[in-house]
Amino acid sequence: MGYYDDHGRTGRNSNGPKKSGYFLASLAGLIVGAAITVFAVSNIADEDGQETTKSPVKTESVSLDVTTDVTKAVDEVKNAVVGITNIQSGNFWQGGEAQPAGTGSGVIYKKAGGKAFIVTNNHVVEGAEKLEVSLADGTKVPAKLSGSDIWTDLAVIEIDGKKVTDVAEFGDSDALKIGEPVMAIGNPLGLEFSGSVTQGIVSGLERTIPVDINGDGAIDWQAEVLQTDAAINPGNSGGALVNISGQVVGINSMKIAQQAVEGIGLSIPINYAMPIIDSLEKYGKVKRPSMGVQLRNVNEIPAYHQQQTLKLPEGVTDGAMIEQVLPESPASKANLQELDVIVQLDDQEVNDVLELRKYMYTNKEVGDKMEVTFYREGKKETVTVVLTTEGVM
């Protein structure tokens, strides 16, 4: 065995040195190869599967300072997102003592007059006897409800501003584009997961979601929302939807949870929410226009009564029927009566109570004049009402 050619040798003197050199090189190669093999085997394992020697390779922990647009955006707003605990009286078995009834999230948007103001969802604070806010550093402070609005699912609460260090900046939700990156920040599944961040994109703009306000199974309102695939779970309600600049562009409100649906989170656009927030902070409620009537959908009334009681013309099967007119209301002053069927407001056709409410709440303010077109005893008439805040509609 060797690295020389045994058949090329012709004499001792002429080939001696060449043979010696190749032999020494061969021997050295064998020794080095054996040493490498022994070293490798000794570092794998013994017959019992135990490592026999420690690897001579040195290791060290590496710390990376990762800063991205996402981490910058989160840093901008994370300390302004808080946890909210809804405290209500316990039942008999709990001794009637106040107990946490639920938790949610909120966003500090303003500091003024020694107070800090927080926007959240109406359903987060609904029914609360006491409210407690958990700041980003874990500090818990009592809170007071400034006002809430069931129609938009928004509420404003206030706390002492001494320990508040960060206030969120509102962005422009009208400038959002489908596919734009956003982050949801809040407290999913309770305060144990406070300050959780999920990332996604804007999946849809100007979505409308039917809402049953009073739980009677009928649709009372259609919420205007943004759609995102950033995960929004119970406890995220009231938290912030943030753009890549760290600005709040939405208040997270709800999540569609159906067996075949995943990744559809909904958020109230901040441009839509801002006037509501301002009104709740100043007045404790949203001052919406009203005619002072109670209404019912015509399409819920049997065809017999549509023809015989309401005396609607053939082909008129939609509209909003007046069930009651409140005394001294705008409707009463305009001579609207029970069983009148409203089919148009100004130049907007009205097919049901939802459309009527949507038009008034979106296009009209207290003190505005509005033309109301209706059927009475089969005849079409129009009157003008001056809207106030009285009544239910």
Same domain? For 22 and 52 the reply is yes
The pLDDT tens digits of the residues spanning 62-109 come to 666 677 889 999 999 999 999 999 999 865 555 666 778 888 999 999
> How many structural domains are present in the chain?
4
Domain of 211 in residue numbering reads as 173-272
The candidate with the shortest Cα–Cα distance to 82, out of 111, 103, 99, is: 103
CA atoms within 13 A of residue 115's CA, in its CB half-sphere: 13
Do 182 and 268 fall into the same domain? yes
The answer to whether residues 141 and 179 belong to one domain is no
Q: Say whether both 136 and 179 belong to one domain.
A: no
Tens of pLDDT, residues 270-329? 999 999 999 999 999 998 999 999 999 999 999 999 999 999 999 999 999 999 999 999
Assess if residue 168 is contained within a domain.
no
Residue 64 inside a domain? The answer is no
pLDDT tens column, 132-173: 999 999 999 999 999 999 999 999 999 999 999 999 999 999
Structural domain ending residue among the three candidates 238, 272, 306: 272
CATH number of 342's domain: 2.30.42.10
* Residues 6+ positions from 65 with CB-CB distance below 8 Å: none
Same domain, 125 and 154: yes
Which residues are catalytic, by number? 123, 153, 237
Tell me, what's the pLDDT at 56? 60
Inside any domain, residue 286: no
The full DSSP string for 141-188 is: EEEEEEEEETTTTEEEEEEESTT----PPB--GGG--TT-EEEEEE-T
> Do 150 and 202 lie in a common domain?
no
Is the Cβ–Cβ distance between 257 and 263 less than 8 Å?
Answer: no
Question: Are 237 and 218 members of one domain?
Answer: yes
Amino acid 65: pLDDT:
67
User: Is 281 a member of any domain?
Assistant: no
Residues 187 and 266 occupy one common structural domain: yes
Q: For residue 47, give the 3-state DSSP assignment.
A: coil
CA-based end-to-end distance of the chain: 106
Examine the fold and report which residue of 160, 188, 203 is the final residue of a domain before the chain moves on: 160
CATH number for position 182: 2.40.10.10
Q: Is residue 332 part of a domain?
A: yes
End residue of a domain, out of 207, 240, 272:
272
pLDDT over threshold 70, residue 4: no
